[in-house]
Chains A and B, each alone.
Chain A
Amino acid sequence: MRGLGDTFFNLQVIEKYLPALLSGFRVTLALAGAVVTLGILLGLTLAMVRAFRFRVVNWLIVAFVDLFRTLPQLVVLVFAYFGLPYAGITISGFTAATLGLGLVLAAFAEEAFWAAITAIPRGQWEAARSTGLSFAQALGSVVMPQAVRIAIPLLTNRTIAITKGTALASVIAVPEILDKAQSAMSLSSNASPLIIGAGLYLAIFAPFVVFSRWLERRFGWII
């Protein structure tokens, strides 16, 4: 048993590599925040633009959504980091990860918001338009406040799943938790850093999950 404790919970190793792991924690947190912000805001914007039904614009939105829903996240990340430089665009690993995961989340978020917009009964639009509101005003003041509530339960799981993909960013040299834990593991020949890393992921995503449950309860009514 002593061997097992030493392998997975070695205090000396933990002490030595904790600062590195904590810096990884900050990077993961920043990356998760950036991905969620970009993904949700872009997805919301695209769904609202789609509501105006400009034909060509909508084709482009649907093409974007289908592309990023289909590609594996890792492929998107690797393309952004290793592929774009061939086109003369070099971005940092952090930017590549934000962009890659953010666009994937945006694609799923757009679908969730769009499904919610189409679920709003026609009578809501008609009530708004019949009192003189423009299409944009009806969308902004009547339809979106309800659509966002409907979209929340559709969104939370996806958001968590995609945000957990920040661990994939270790592949493109983003110094996040998994990256730090892996190098600490190979330097120390000990698995303890991974255990701490797992604990740090929990520290980020457990509140996230709890928050999403609260959101679903608070706003998750369907009309």
Chain B
Amino acid sequence: MANDCFLLEIDDLHKSFGDLEVLKGINLRVRPGEVIILIGPSGSGKSTFLRCINRLEEPTRGRIRVDGTEIMARGVDLNRVRKDIGIVFQAFNLYPHLTALGNVTLALRKVLRMSRQDAEACGRRMLEHVGLAEKADAYPSELSGGQQQRVAIARALALEPKLMLFDEPTSALDPELVGSVLKVMRDLRDEGMTMVVVTHEMSFARDAGDRVLFMDGGEIVEEGPPSTIFRNPAHQRTREFLQRVLHV
């Protein structure tokens, strides 16, 4: 099996909450540097799927390989695996008791066991990367939503992940703050980061996505390049969904 050319491989992934089957056998192959856009109606399982990839949600069954590592294998060091998979949440989830720099450096010190000095040097570089060098000492409550989300991105990037997951990173933001976050994500793409992004920002999906996946009812209904999915979707369900989101 020539699986070296894929960074992320997912086979027949299932997830149920009790009787409710939320993921009904998802398959996905992602090449290094690819940007996957995941769209779909509310409740279709997008967040659940993303959260299964780093096992924040425990899949019911299936296989997940990240850069060759079977992360569903028994005895796998989950904390090591997660270090390689950054995730950015809709609600930012910054630590309110720590400064921006403290948020970025916590895992560097606790997980990578860096000295405070090294961690802070790295943390400041990361904040600079997302355009927030001057906010290092600010607490989350002192930052705008867009700034908070960029700190959250810096926090994930600091661990030098191989894969970044984004769960509607701009949905909680005022419209005028969306651009700053999308810009950081575009820069990341240009640097070659592999990303899976749940988003309803269609312009971002069109010009930053390599492939768009349309998910509905716990299945991937259709996938293809943005131009095809947006202009000429094959499935009725996809057409209906796009009509709804593009008209609001």
Contacts and interface: CB of A to CB of B under 8 A. Distances in A.
Interface of A: 121, 123-124, 126-134, 137, 141-142, 145-146, 149, 223
B111 A132 contact: yes
Interface residues of A: mostly helix, strand, loop or mixed? helix
Interface of B: 54, 56, 79-80, 82-83, 85-87, 89, 91, 93-97, 106-107, 110-111, 152, 155-156, 159
A146 B83 contact: no
Contacts of B56: 126, 129-130
Given A141-B110, A142-B106, A146-B97, A132 B89 contact: no
Interface residues of B: mostly helix, strand, loop or mixed? mixed
A131 B155 contact: yes
Contacts of B54: 130
Given A132-B80, A141-B106, A127 B94 contact: yes
A-B pairs, top 10 by smallest CB distance, nearest first, are A131-B107, A123-B93, A127-B93, A132-B83, A132-B111, A132-B79, A130-B87, A132-B82, A145-B97, A137-B110
Contacts of B110: 133, 137, 141
A217 to B, nearest CB: 16
A126 B54 CA distance: 11
Residue among B56, B80, B110, B156 with the highest chain A CB neighbour number at 10 A? B110
A137 B110 CA distance: 7
B103 to A, nearest CB: 9
A131 B106 contact: yes
A133 B96 contact: no
Contacts of A124: 93, 95
A223 B96 contact: yes
B82 A131 contact: yes
Contact of B93 (A126, A141, A149): A126
Contacts of A132: 79-80, 82-83, 107, 111, 159
B86 to A, nearest CB: 8
Contacts of B155: 127, 131
B217 to A, nearest CB: 25
B89 A133 contact: no
Given A131-B106, A132-B79, A146-B96, 4 more contacts: A126-B93, A131-B82, A132-B80, A133-B79
A223 B23 CA distance: 33
Contacts of A123: 89, 91, 93
A68 B84 CA distance: 47
Contact of B89 (A127, A142, A149, A223): A127
A142 B56 CA distance: 17
A131 B86 CA distance: 7
A133 B87 contact: no
Contacts of A131: 82-83, 86, 106-107, 111, 155-156, 159
A137 B93 CA distance: 17
A121 B92 CA distance: 12
Nearest to B107: A131
B97 A149 contact: yes
